[in-house]
Amino acid sequence: QRQKIVTGKVTDKAGEGLPGVTIRIKDTQFGTSTNAQGEYSLNITDLTKTLVATSIGYITTEVAVGNRSTIDIILKSNNQELLELVVVGYGTAKKSDLTGSVSSMKSEQINQIATPNVGQALQGRMAGVDVSAESGEPGSGARIRIRGVGTINNSDPLYVVDGFQTGDISFLAPGDIESIEVLKDASATAIYGSRGANGVVLISTKRGKKTDKPKFSFEAYSGFQQSAKIISMLNATDYATLRLEAFENDKIVLPTDNNIFNRLNYIKSGNYNGTNWQNEVMNSGAKISNYSVNVLGGNEINRYSITGTIFDQEGLIKNSGMKKYFLRFNNDVQLRQWLNSGLSVAFSRFDKTFYNSDLYSGVLTTALAADPITASWDRNTNNWGRADMSSTNNPARSVNELINNKGYGSLINGNVFIEAKFLKNFTFRSQMGINYNNSHNKSYSPKFFVSTDEARDNSSLWQKRGEFSQWVLSNYVTFNKDLKQHSFGIMAGTESQQSQYSDMEVTAYDVPNDATQFYLSAAKNARDYTVKSNQSDESILSYFGRLNYNFAGKYLLTGTLRRDGSSRFLGANRWGTFPSFAAAWNLTEESFLKDVSAIDHLKIRVGWGQVGNQNSADNYGYVTTMVGNNLYTFNGQTVSGFAPEVASNKELKWETTTSSNFGIDFSLLKNKLSFTADYFIKTTNDMIVAVPIPTYSGIGAAKVNAGSVENKGIELALSYSNKEGELKYEVTGNLTKINNTVTSLGGGTAIESGNISKVGNTTITEVSREIAVFYGYKTNGIFQSTEELKQHINSKGEALQDAAQVGDVRFVDLNQDGIIDSKDRTYLGSGTPDFSYGFTTNFNYKNFDLRFFFQGVKGAEIVNGLTFTNQKGNLGANLITERLNRWTATNPSTNEPRVTEADPNNNYRFSDRYVQDGSYLRFKNITLGYSLPASILAKIKIHTLRLYASGDNILTITKYKGYDPEVGSYYNNSLAYGVDVANYPTARTLRLGLNAGF
Amino acid sequence: CSDFLLKEPLGKETEANYFNDPANAVLAVNGIYDVLGWEEGPGFNNSGVTSNLEWMYGDVMSDDAEKGSTINDFQALQELKDWTATSVNDIAKGLWSNAFAGIYRSNNVLKNIETANISSSLKTRLTGEATFLRAYFYFYLARVYGGVPLFTEPVKASEYTITKRATLGETLKFIESDLKNAVILLPERGDYSIVDLGRATKGAANAYLARVAMYAIGTDNSVTKNTWQEVYDLTRIIMASGQYSLTPNYAEIHEAEGENNLESIFEIQEVESSNSWGAIKTGTTSNIFQNNRSTWGWGFNNPSVSLVSEFETGDPRRACTVYSKDNVLLGTKVEDILYPSGNMTNYLNRKAAILKPSEGKESGQNIRKMRYADVLLMNAEAAANIGKEDEARQILNQIRARAKNSTTPKGSKEGSPTSYEAANIPNTTLPAITTSVTGKALMEAIWHERRVEFGMEALRLWDLIRTGRYLNSISAVRKSAATRHAINSNVVNPVPVLPIPLNEVQSWGLDQNPGY
């Protein structure tokens, strides 16, 4: 065989030389790469038939050698959307080859909102992906629901970060992320088997790239936050007026020497504003800032990326801030032509204070309930004021205590893989990942005395330390083979994973009130300690495979199968099998559409699959355990007692979700307009339900597989981009409509939940309705006159509400049985929206860029859980200013009931008066940026520099009267979604930032 | 491979193997006793549990006490007193939840103890304790709600939808049968070793049997068909057992030195600690509830003027039952009790007055449930009813003589917190009941004696109900409300009852009580 030399130049379409392109003799490891001008020279033999040119960002191109000695190659950029590689489970796929329903998001969008929480950054961006913040508290989570709520249990998606499966991604900073893919339908998620039922969020972090020299970038922003809303409450004089009116209405005659009575009269006769408790507990200008540095670079052999981030946020509520630090190192090494490996290590740490949201002792709940007459600090006693008129704790004192309610966490995530190509068409990949999470909570409760019923006799220090570790080991082989127009892909693998948790908590008493003494060693009470621990260990073992077939890029078929075994189940129920099939047809590859120039791309997708949700089961739910610490005393000595507290079910098995998907993707007008629509039906069977049981059973309910839920929905995503002169613009929007229906509760009775103290249950979950619909009485205004009261009778002429007086609420006898009782309750809406949407517009003009981002939901209702407190004025609580318009003899034409504390008519039983329209349209973000021109940058030796001003949550259009219509779930109970008990409000944030590249 | 998926619960024994370890049977029974002391929780199935203590019913709902504290504070308790409580009343919900947790624990022990590898004598005793406690919880429920669902085993899921309430009579029969078993199984107080002081005894089971029978006689006796002769015989058994006697000094009974003394038949054992909530709590909130609002209490359960005037002039028990401003309490003068802003009658409960514990909500004062004096007065009432009036008068006079010999309450002299001073009352005080007192007058004398002997001990409400005097002892508005909520069928006297918690009615189809 003869040797010869070929030379040539590799260019892009514009003729620009491309450096660093690998030129390889096909099917060998011999090759070279181009120089800075894009030129190469390579020794070949006369047997060499084909050269392969590869470069990141370009389509790999093969050229026939023939008898040429100069071979110039033109590489086509692959940044056209359809050729983009999309991460799918255990591999990647060209977007054009996808058969399932997958949405993507790029790093730029992820970083638009000021949040350290990746989940919150997803809000409003993708069709079918519903995100709401759990609360506005710094460090709080996001509730992500992919294609609706599939179960009343754990509906959180699975996260897969660079191939590592986890339920917790708090080790990730938004700035670490290159792209996010969300797998929505079962044909895409079934490869994750027992953990794919709620959708899968695949996250790729920024990895090193081949560069001439290391790229250094710096990003920073800093700004202020304020509460987007303050609730208008009565001032002291109005409060006194209404309280005295209530006593009068209730015919309560207080003795003339009554302290409360005299103070109320004194305040009523003057003009006093009193204390604005919301001001007392809120920060007026809470700071927020974020700094992030990234170094990225590499060569053929070794590529790296290092990112460090510092985030610091003060809370809107005093003493409720968070600091968080992130560090990430990614490294990829090409060990041999056929062998490469990679490593990712991330560390993060947070330091935050925990907010108290309890209905009685919480900060905002008491700030809204506390009477405005009481001073926050009583100068006479030189002590906190005692809000005795409203029987509440002093909110200013409560907020002051938050500072000692601390949480610290350290999270480590490490991941290493090795990938080998062998026997031409095979690739073997082995990946091992570890998650380690160390949490430390510490809360000090000082001794104090305000009054006999607002006092703590004994100081205490509670500390809890927990350790969570998880590892996942995956091994899989991929085989790819093209035979003319047929191409095949087969992947098969196994996976094992284990999670272990253990914690320890100790409460010690009589600890000095001094930050340097907040340690267990400082406890002066040597006798009393409370010690507890929790621990668990679980594992999953899996086998999985996938088959892809593609004919001429026209017809695409995918089938997957996964078999999972979980330690959460026993015996025959331990193993589950989860199959899926999908097909797609690229119509634009057909001859009859190839010449239709208006249509650039048109694809139809159909898929079906089954996935499981093991996270709905508890770890040892199949066995009843004995719980200790049930103490009693004999002969003055405390003895231990044990009792089972929660019942068990040996038969517990997987929740299974079956889903079908029909989708269409098309692009028009030279890809300026692209459109994706999906219709899906998703049914969860064997839903695990802790079916509420009668209280008389005396024990916590066991979990059973008793229910099924169906979600049907439509998702639309549309994007249009164009360029007119120097103006480039892009509009993208998405809309999701989901109908959620409980189709079975396994014969069990309806589940009532969402209990608000004094009000009772607010939601019901029953067959043929949505999960957790609000359920209560229907009202019809108030009795404005004696005549109206007299007319409110049943067919026998008896009063329907015999305790009612003029000015009280009129309840409707819905079932017309002549009495108003619990059977007259009805459906009053739900927290789940009819549809949700988001849209973004980006403009670029010369060096300026302007972005708007809107997001909203329509057709959601909210239960304003503070109605009982702030409209009834329970126990003397302060009232919202709307109550000034209450019914009185001189103000009969109103819908506000008379003021009464005795409330013989029970005006504030749970009714439609609690339920408000929770639809909203939120101007989520505006950003105006300016990038310095190259001429200036050259002088200051900076590659890129962009300055911007940004505002988050600028405006929210809603009818909801609470703090914020994005309310999450009361006590994180999925059956209390949409029940708002003064949720920590969302901040309006204004900030300035810069992005610089060197 | 399958080993990889095999996991056992960590750090917890399972119910299935729990009773294999002989030591565990005792711990499981301790777990039932724990529920006796639950006042606030824990509560299951998301049902929050608010404070519920027996005086909230026994005293506050009767003519012996007003709610107390400020007008606004703890409206749920005022609702009980006014009979305006609804099915979401927290106090009534709390008792339901706690008592059934106790019943579940009893049933769980009774079901599993059969197979436990322990000595037969221990097994007999533990079975007796669990049976006694089940009866205790059921009797509490029966008095507050009337008839309730009856279970002899842990409730099975299949029973949820088909369970109905038994009638009051059936419930009392169930309790009676449990207590009769407990009498057989339990040892006498003297047969326990000292470390077990506070456990249920044969004497306690007999005493409760008498109390249940007496309650049935005045309410729903349609199933139990109890007789006064039975009450008489039961009380005689206790009197003859030699296990109990009256405390010589009445003033000492509710003080620390009176705990578990020879007069004590059953008390809830409390000890101070710092854990003020849930199952790990070992003390009681009862004292902070009833203590003076101007010192370290919340000022609830104020003795009524009617109770105070029931005491005969000079009766030393008055000062041991109530106190007011300027009295000397445990060596310290009471400067103020915040009447009327934080007190409704100008009196507070002396029997709940103790020195401030380190944690107010964790007081260590035992709650007296059954005293020997009660056994004697039950015996007197039974004797009077079966024509043994002499015996009745003799016992009455025994009680009155003991009262007459009482000192002043502990620490009545400023600066002497622990001393008892002579009461120095005229000899004419508390004269003996003479043979001229007979028939109706004798019965009135016995009832009078019960009221003053057991003032503020949470017995009054049920004494009034079972003797048919309740409705006339309360205001007209309350009477009309209580009448609406009274059980009227098969009863000797109307038995007003509180609402069954909403959830049990709405979701599980239990019948609600009248008028709710």
Q: Is there a contact between A695 and B44 if contact means CB atoms under 8 Å apart? A: yes
Q: How many CB atoms lie within 10 A of CB A725?
A: 7
pTM over 0.95: no
* pLDDT above 70 (res B42): no
Instruction: Name the pLDDT band for B114 (thresholds 50, 70, 90).
Output: confident
Residue type, position A471, single letter: W
| CB < 8 Å to A979, chain B | none
Q: Is there a contact between A752 and B507 if contact means CB atoms under 8 Å apart? A: yes
| CB < 8 Å to B1, chain A | 541
Q: Where are the beta strands (DSSP E) in A446-528?
A: 448-451, 454-456, 460-483, 486-509
- C-alpha A25/C-alpha A31 separation (Å) is 6
Strand A73-74 relative to strand A3-11: parallel, antiparallel, unpaired? Answer: parallel
Q: How far is B508 from chain A (nearest CA, A)?
A: 6
What pLDDT score was predicted for residue B237?
97
| CB < 8 Å to B32, chain A | 641, 643
Helix (H, G, I), strand (E, B) or coil at A197: coil
| CB < 8 Å to B269, chain A | 632-634, 636
- C-alpha A578/C-alpha A71 separation (Å) is 50
pLDDT tens per residue across span A461-518: 999 999 999 999 999 999 988 888 898 999 999 999 999 999 999 999 999 999 899 9
| CB < 8 Å to B266, chain A | none
DSSP string, A777-822: B-EEEE--SHHHHHH-B-TTS-BSSTT--TTSEEEP-TT-SSS-SG
* pLDDT above 50 (res B46): no
Helix (H, G, I), strand (E, B) or coil at A835: strand
* pLDDT above 60 (res B181): yes
* pLDDT above 90 (res A959): yes
What pLDDT score was predicted for residue A80?
52
Q: How far is B185 from chain A (nearest CA, A)?
A: 20
Average pLDDT of the residues of chain A:
87
Beta bridge partners of A529: A508
In a 10 Å sphere around its CB, with 0-12 CB exposed, 13-18 middle and 19+ buried, how is residue A577 labelled? middle
pLDDT higher for B456 or B342?
A: B456
Instruction: Name the pLDDT band for A78 (thresholds 50, 70, 90).
Output: low
If you ran DSSP here, which 8-state letter would residue B2 be given? G
What pLDDT score was predicted for residue B361?
86
pLDDT tens per residue across span A729-787: 989 999 999 899 999 887 667 888 888 877 888 999 889 999 899 999 999 999 999 99
Q: How far is B257 from chain A (nearest CA, A)?
A: 12
Q: What is the mean pLDDT of residues A39-66?
A: 83
Residue A419 structure tokens: 């990938």
Residue A739 structure tokens: 């109908």
Q: Among all residues of chain B, which has the CA nearest to that of A258?
A: B341
Q: Among all residues of chain B, which has the CA nearest to that of A565?
A: B5
* pLDDT above 60 (res B45): no
If you ran DSSP here, which 8-state letter would residue B69 be given? S
What pLDDT score was predicted for residue B41?
62
* pLDDT above 70 (res A77): no
If you ran DSSP here, which 8-state letter would residue A76 be given? P
DSSP string, B276-332: -SGGG--SBSHHHHHS-TTTTS--EEEEPHHHHHHSPTT-HHHHHHEE-TT-EETTE
* pLDDT above 70 (res A82): no
* pLDDT above 90 (res B129): yes
What pLDDT score was predicted for residue B277?
66
CA-wise closest residue to A490 among A429, A549, A551 = A549
Domains defined along chain A, listed by start: 3-74 (2.60.40.1120), 81-205 (2.170.130.10), 236-272 (no CATH)
Q: Is there a contact between B104 and A697 if contact means CB atoms under 8 Å apart? A: yes
Residue to mutate among B145, B160, B343, B344, with most A CBs inside 10 A, is B160
Q: Is there a contact between A632 and B104 if contact means CB atoms under 8 Å apart? A: no
What pLDDT score was predicted for residue B276?
67
List of residues 6+ apart from B222 with CB closer than 8 A: B167, B169, B490
Instruction: Report yes or no: B203 and B244 within 8 Å, Cβ to Cβ.
Output: yes
If you ran DSSP here, which 8-state letter would residue A920 be given? E
- C-alpha A708/C-alpha A655 separation (Å) is 9
Least confident of A27-36, A285-294, A561-570: A27-36
pLDDT higher for A457 or A114?
A: A457
Phi, psi (5° rounding) for residue A364? Answer: -70, -35
Which residue of B5, B24, B341 is in closest CB contact with A259? B341
What pLDDT score was predicted for residue A145?
82
Residue to mutate among A633, A703, A801, A820, with most B CBs inside 10 A, is A633
Q: Cβ of B75 under 8 Å from any chain A Cβ?
A: yes
Q: What is the mean pLDDT of residues A817-835?
A: 89
Instruction: Report yes or no: A551 and B19 within 8 Å, Cβ to Cβ.
Output: no
Residue A711 structure tokens: 């979600």
Least confident of A189-198, B210-219, B322-331, B402-411: A189-198
* pLDDT above 90 (res A69): no
- C-alpha A350/C-alpha A173 separation (Å) is 12
Q: What is the dihedral of CA A509, A515, A516, A521, to 10 degrees?
A: 20
* pLDDT above 70 (res B44): no
Q: Which of A8-17, A274-283, A526-535, B11-20 has the highest mean pLDDT?
A: A274-283
What pLDDT score was predicted for residue B278?
67
* pLDDT above 60 (res B451): yes
| CB < 8 Å to A453, chain B | 73, 293, 298
A289-293, long-range: CB < 8 A, 24+ apart: A289/A220, A289/A221, A289/A222, A289/A223, A289/A313, A289/A991, A290/A114, A290/A116, A290/A219, A290/A220, A290/A221, A290/A222, A291/A218, A291/A219, A291/A220, A292/A173, A292/A175, A292/A218, A292/A219, A292/A220, A293/A216, A293/A217, A293/A218, A293/A219
Instruction: Name the pLDDT band for B43 (thresholds 50, 70, 90).
Output: low
Phi, psi (5° rounding) for residue B108? Answer: -65, -40
pLDDT tens per residue across span A852-865: 989 999 999 999 99
Q: Is there a contact between A697 and B293 if contact means CB atoms under 8 Å apart? A: no
* pLDDT above 50 (res A845): yes
Helix (H, G, I), strand (E, B) or coil at A582: strand
Q: How many CB atoms lie within 10 A of CB A970?
A: 25
pLDDT tens per residue across span A317-342: 999 899 999 999 999 999 998 999 99
B:151-170 residues touching chain A, CB 8 A cutoff: 151, 154-155, 157, 160-161, 163
pLDDT tens per residue across span A555-567: 999 999 999 999 9
- C-alpha A734/C-alpha A678 separation (Å) is 11
Q: How far is B224 from chain A (nearest CA, A)?
A: 24
In a 10 Å sphere around its CB, with 0-12 CB exposed, 13-18 middle and 19+ buried, how is residue A531 labelled? exposed
Q: What is the mean pLDDT of residues B488-508?
A: 91
Q: Among all residues of chain A, which has the CA nearest to that of B515?
A: A821
* pLDDT above 90 (res A671): no
Residue A257 structure tokens: 């020497």
What distance, in Å, lies between the first and last C-alpha atoms of chain B?
59
* pLDDT above 80 (res B312): yes
B:3-42 residues touching chain A, CB 8 A cutoff: 4-16, 18, 24, 27-37, 42
- C-alpha B184/C-alpha A829 separation (Å) is 58
Least confident of A102-106, A113-117, B165-169: A113-117
Residue to mutate among A538, A540, A640, A642, with most B CBs inside 10 A, is A642
Strand A835-845 relative to strand A848-858: parallel, antiparallel, unpaired? Answer: antiparallel
Q: Among all residues of chain A, which has the CA nearest to that of B89?
A: A758
If you ran DSSP here, which 8-state letter would residue A516 be given? G
Instruction: Name the pLDDT band for A595 (thresholds 50, 70, 90).
Output: confident
